[in-house]
Amino acid sequence: MSKVFLDDPNLGNLEKKYLTRAIDSNFVSTVGPFIPEFEEKFTHYIGTERAISTQSGTAALHMALYQLGIGEGDEVIVPSLTFIATINPVLFVKAKPLIVDVDPITWNIDPQEIKKAITEKTKAIIPVHLYGSVCNIEEVIEIARENNLYVIEDATESLGATYKGRQTGTFGDFGCFSFNGNKLITTGGGGMIVSNNQKKAEHIKFLVNQARDASKGYYHPEVGFNYRMTNIEASLGLAQLERIDNFLKKKRNFRKIYQEIFNDLPYIKFQEEFDNSSGSWWLTCIKVDKNNIDIDNLMLKLKNKGIPTRRIFMPASEMPYLKKFSKPCPNAYEIYNYGICLPSSTLNEEEDIRKTALIIRELL
């Protein structure tokens, strides 16, 4: 069997061509033509009014909270099952995260838990579309409207996923994306923040550039950040964006193959698709409902057979500095204890995934 890839990036001749152009132009830093071009094409792909490139997905989330004026004394509701970068920016702005449990079927934030957690200090919700699976965004938006809360979508893992035909990241006040090396498309490291509010978006464009008013030289009317993407990164992003349809097709097909091959195994449960949505399936993940299955041991056995896997994110309440902010999250723990992410990189071919699934099946 050829080498199997978990979440490795897929870079080729187009990326080399655009990268060479960036180097040849000598625009390698935060000024250069690829940056506005990438922002414009990303805006068009996503369907919002504006997209602002950033240094990372974490920076995008930080800027969203900061621009909305969320700070000390405020609370922000977040899911327990996510990468830590969803929650840390809440602490960057000195607000308090309220960590709630996820739905056992979609593994995404449970709207009922959001309702229970809201207090008079709550200012925002950060729903995450985990592993490219769409959360119950309609209900999250409704709860936010009823309670006068902001919504910042953490769409860092769900580029290309849609709900009722509309891209994730476009429902809230802001949507945040990541182009880290393992994501659907990569710029090496980078992010994007999207919004339909031009004024707020332009303010973020200004904030990420040291809040510089260039019309007055080196004049900075407020505190700013250096959270810009580079022209080199944007050149990669443009090439990757041209290939996104093919990447998505592959990811969705890989999940179908796993589903076909595990179809008659009742103890394998997939992270399920929410109604009316189409997941991007950045990573296909399963939960093994078998008596006392030891996930680390299973991963080791798979590794010895050349199959790389990764564990589900550890529930946020396991982090010593976050424990005090967490509600009980039994579903997040259940998924963490028995879940696993399967090889999903677009470097794989259909045949590799088929063989991988058969080996996992045999081992189980």
Give least dist CB 314 to ligand PLP, A. 13
Indicate whether 128 belongs to the interface with ligand PLP (CB under 6 A): yes
Per-residue DSSP letter, 318: G
Indicate whether 83 belongs to the interface with ligand PLP (CB under 6 A): yes
Strand arrangement of the beta sheet that strand 75-79 belongs to: 50-54, 191-195, 174-178, 150-154, 122-125, 75-79, 96-100
Distance CA 271, CA 220 (A): 47
Give the nearest residue (CB) to ligand PLP. 57
Give least dist CB 157 to ligand PLP, A. 5
Please provide the DSSP assignment of 182-241 as one string. Answer: TSSS--BS-EEEEES-HHHHHHHHHHTBTT-BGGGSSB-SS---B-PPPHHHHHHHHHHH
Provide the token pair at 206. 């200004």
Indicate whether 280 belongs to the interface with ligand PLP (CB under 6 A): no
Give least dist CB 216 to ligand PLP, A. 32
Stretch that binds ligand PLP, among 79-87, 90-98, 144-152, 243-251 (CB under 6 A): 79-87
Residue number, 178 or 231, with CB nearest to ligand PLP: 178
For residues 192 and 172, the answer to whether their CB atoms sit within 8 Å is: no
Q: How many residues bind ligand PLP (CB under 6 A)?
A: 14
Indicate whether 134 belongs to the interface with ligand PLP (CB under 6 A): no
Give which of 361, 306, 38, 331 is closest to 194, Cα–Cα: 38
Q: How far apart are the first and last CA of the chain?
A: 20
Using the rule CB under 6 A, which residue among 80, 180, 277, 309 binds ligand PLP?
A: 180
Using the rule CB under 6 A, which residue among 10, 86, 170, 309 binds ligand PLP?
A: 86
Residue number, 61 or 144, with CB nearest to ligand PLP: 61
Residue number, 128 or 234, with CB nearest to ligand PLP: 128
Strands (DSSP E) found in the chain: 50-54, 75-79, 96-100, 122-125, 150-154, 162-163, 166-167, 174-178, 191-195, 268-270, 277-278, 285-288, 310-311, 339-341
Using the rule CB under 6 A, which residue among 15, 153, 157, 352 binds ligand PLP?
A: 157
Give least dist CB 318 to ligand PLP, A. 16
Stretch that binds ligand PLP, among 17-25, 44-52, 149-157, 222-230 (CB under 6 A): 149-157
Distance CA 220, CA 38 (A): 26
Distance CA 192, CA 182 (A): 16
Indicate whether 85 belongs to the interface with ligand PLP (CB under 6 A): yes
Distance CA 52, CA 62 (A): 13
Using the rule CB under 6 A, which residue among 57, 132, 172, 308 binds ligand PLP?
A: 57
For residues 187 and 179, the answer to whether their CB atoms sit within 8 Å is: yes
Stretch that binds ligand PLP, among 53-61, 109-117, 145-153, 316-324 (CB under 6 A): 53-61
Indicate whether 150 belongs to the interface with ligand PLP (CB under 6 A): no
- Judged by DSSP in three states, 122 sits in strand
Using the rule CB under 6 A, which residue among 156, 230, 235, 271 binds ligand PLP?
A: 156
Stretch that binds ligand PLP, among 11-19, 150-158, 217-225, 235-243 (CB under 6 A): 150-158
Indicate whether 178 belongs to the interface with ligand PLP (CB under 6 A): yes
- Report the helix count and the strand count for the chain, using DSSP H and E: 12, 14
Q: How many Cα atoms occupy the beta-carbon half-sphere of 217 within 13 Å?
A: 0
Residue number, 56 or 356, with CB nearest to ligand PLP: 56
Residue number, 86 or 168, with CB nearest to ligand PLP: 86
Indicate whether 195 belongs to the interface with ligand PLP (CB under 6 A): no
Distance CA 326, CA 246 (A): 39
Taking the CB of residue 20, how many other CB atoms lie within 10 A of it? 11
In the complex, the residues that contact ligand PLP under the rule CB under 6 A are 56-58, 82-83, 85-86, 128, 154, 156-157, 178, 180, 191
